[in-house]
Amino acid sequence: MSKHKKHNTGGFKSNLIQQISSLFEKNPSYTFNYKQISQAFGFKDISNKRLVSIVLEELAVQGKLVETKSGTFKLNSSGAFVEGTVDMTASGIAYVIISEEEDDVFISPKNTNGALNGDKVKVNVFSSKQKRKPEGEIVEIIERAKTEFVGIIDKSKNFSFVVTTDPRMPVDVFVSNDKLKGANNGDKVVVKITEWPKNKKNPYGIIIDVLGKAGERNTEMHAILAEYGLPYKFPEKVEQDAAKLNIEISNAEIKNRLDFRTVTTFTIDPLDAKDFDDALSIKKLENGIWEIGVHIADVSHYVQPGTLLDKEALQRATSVYLVDRVVPMLPEVLSNNACSLRPHETKLCFSAVFELTDSAEVKKEWFGRTVIFSDRRFTYEEAQERIETGKGDFAEEILQMDKLAKLLRKDRFKKGSIAFDRIEVKFNLDKDGNPIGIYFKESKDSNKLIEEFMLLANKRVAEFIGKTPKNQKPKTFVYRIHDEPNQEKLQVFSNFIKKFGYNLSLDESKLAKSLNNLLEEVKGKNEENLIEQLAIRTMSKAAYSTNNIGHYGLAFSYYSHFTSPIRRYPDIIAHRLLQRYLDGGQSFNQTEIEEQCKHSSKMELLAAEAERASIKYKQVEFLQDKIGQAFDGIISGVSEWGIYVEIMSGMCEGMVRLRDMTDDFYSFDPDNYQAIGRKHKKTYRMGDKVRIRVKRADLSRKQLDFVLTEQEEDFWGGIDE
């Protein structure tokens, strides 16, 4: 009798089919013959090799494999196609996002086939086993998200590479030295990918702009804009067209407008503002009613549809506010001159005028084109001083407006508006733009005064257009919409705050009030900023659309953006449409406006990301000369790589890497938002207060590395700073 048991041939063959199928699925672009597979599985006897050959033939008959040439097979890619968007990681692994309802498809680096982050692609899904993500291969790039990237030139004698600064760009770009556009080694540039040969690891490109030497402040700010595809200068032709505009205000134009030049009018803006796009007027009528005018710069008078100026404004869609500069949507001759509601100058406006009772009830409203003369330019600080002391010029008028604004605000919250008063990080800069201090911008009564009247105008304009009889179709308009929060995200958030002793009602009818109570309860606590940020993340993102669903966060059924046309293109659309309908015009083409809404929403998100990147850059720059200094911080996040800590005195966030935590071996516990030591079970959890020391400030990557002071005895002894 044989010393070895015979194979159960049925079970062995079934297992072999699974193993061979798995081999092809993991290598969808490779071909194999029976010899290669037999060698891979360690089969030397003829019977097993013959069985491999049989299995290959059967899988081909079933359609799982295709015979590319006699005896050579490849995974059959036909059929299991899906389309989605690439989410690339720094390691080169990618996930293709199909939809909110479907699982992301895992793509190994060898199966990305030249796809880059954000690309729209077609994927062959070849594995969807339970308890793991579906796996696949990108077989077609349908649409590139971007072809231009920021990087640093690495130049050699015969050729160069652009080493990209985007951590999610997995390859460098090859550039021949005759296509460098004068760039030198170490320069920061914008490179455009022109081709990517199938047999090449790196794409080929050309330099389209040289930003300057890496590390120089102006270079880095322009690089931030370029990284997000945002312009940092106007085309020469656009500047020329703007310079040719007739910005003189004729008597004929004034006669066509409601004249507010004799009514008390002023602006309230930040100290460093140059574009004043809103002003308020106040007048007490004979019947004791207050007439409040919300006067908005009439940009649409100067920027006509279809002109080069209009096309450029639409393409930009928004002004971008970096820490040390503004990149305007409109050329300076408009943004800071013709359209800006500067004091003691006659200006053209589009206005929303309200008659309010002493209890802030709107009795009457009027919308139309006006002409104004601002009596005074206030900073928020100056207006706040009048609210607090009751003294100074126009103090009586400002106090009355403040009273009305507080009543409007109280009514808004009573109806379900959520009080997200976000803290803004601001920098004190020296004359050269160096950050010499960080402070938090607090929203005071003067800020809230302006906010309430702008909200009132935006709301009532949207209602004026959107509210129609049931049997009448609403006219096309641009709405600012905000959907209800995702219930799953709310549940996760609710579970998290319970660890701090807070509760949140998930009952839809009580949610807004419960959120407001929570935000009030955490004020002044260590975890205030953390919880407020997480609460904001549970909310849907606001966007522009012609399809009105209301604004959840404000609890408004109708809401638009009408009050900032110098810096937001949707406000220009709102002005044009409102005037069209006031003139008795028919509803405008909805498809065209919806496309403009989608583009504006996209550009708004890019601008916000660029603004955050500039803040991060300045924070790193601020801490550059503070290596080794200790600060109190709050753990703001935990990942498999480390714990994120936000310095309490400046909201600068950096990472303490798990590998630098030397008192134990720490691992990431995602269910409890913590890092836990394997041996001693010590935990570091989101919201914990810690003390850190600055280890490294990397400006090129906009990254801060910290080390925990309680572990620094072990750590600092082992590094050479």
Beta strands in 230-361 (DSSP E): 258-259, 265-269, 278-284, 290-297, 320-322, 325-327, 346-356
- What are the distances in angstroms from CA 410 to CA 515, 535, 591? 16, 22, 38
The token pair that represents 421 in the structure block:
């008063």
The H or E element that residue 335 is part of is none
Q: What is the pLDDT of residue 131?
A: 45
Give the span between the Cα atoms of 618 and 651, in whole angstroms: 12
The answer to whether 81-143 and 148-214 have equal CATH topology is yes
How many Å apart are CA 202 and CA 179, to the nearest integer? Answer: 16
- Domain range list for the chain: 9-75, 81-143, 148-214, 239-409, 487-539, 627-716
What CATH class is the domain 81-143? mainly beta
The pLDDT assigned to 15 comes to 82
- Residue 12 tokens read as 């062995």
**What are the DSSP E strand ranges found in 89-227?**
94-97, 105-107, 120-127, 135-143, 148-155, 159-164, 173-176, 187-195, 204-213
Check residue 127 and give its pLDDT. Answer: 61
Residue at token pair 């938002």: 673
Beta bridge partners of 362: 356
- CATH topology classification for 9-75: Arc Repressor Mutant, subunit A (1.10.10)
Helix (H) or strand (E) holding 688: none
Residue from 481, 409, 458, 480 nearest 296 by CA = 458
pLDDT value of residue 10: 59
C-beta separation of 578 from 365 below 8 A: no
Residue numbers of the chain with a pLDDT score lower than 50: 1-7, 129-131, 714-721
What is the residue type of 481? I
Residue 128's pLDDT is 53
Residue pointed to by tokens 């750590």? 715
Sheet strands side by side (includes 346-356)? 258-259, 362-373, 346-356, 290-297, 278-284, 265-269, 376-379
Q: How far apart are CA 71 and CA 312, in angstroms?
A: 59
453 in helix, strand or coil?
Answer: helix
Domain 627-716 CATH superfamily: Nucleic acid-binding proteins (2.40.50.140)
User: Beta-carbon neighbour count of residue 421 at 10 Å?
Assistant: 12
Residue 647: what are its φ and ψ, rounded to 5°? -65, 125
Nearest to 440 by CA among 450, 425, 452: 425
Q: How many residues does the chain have?
A: 721
Q: Which tens digits make up the pLDDT trace of 439-448?
A: 878 889 999 9
Task: Give the separation between CA 222 and CA 209, rounded to whole angstroms.
Answer: 11
- Position 717 scores a pLDDT of 42
Residues 625/612, Cβ–Cβ less than 8 Å: no
CA distance linking residue 697 with residue 534, whole number of Å: 26
Q: Which fold has domain 148-214?
A: OB fold (Dihydrolipoamide Acetyltransferase, E2P) (2.40.50)
Which three-class secondary structure state does DSSP give residue 32?
strand
Q: Which parts of 467-568 fold into alpha helices (H)? A: 487-498, 511-521, 528-538
Give the tokens for residue 287.
């019947």
At 664, give phi and psi (nearest 5°). -170, 175
Q: How far is CA 166 from the centre of its chain?
A: 16
pLDDT at position 674, please? 87
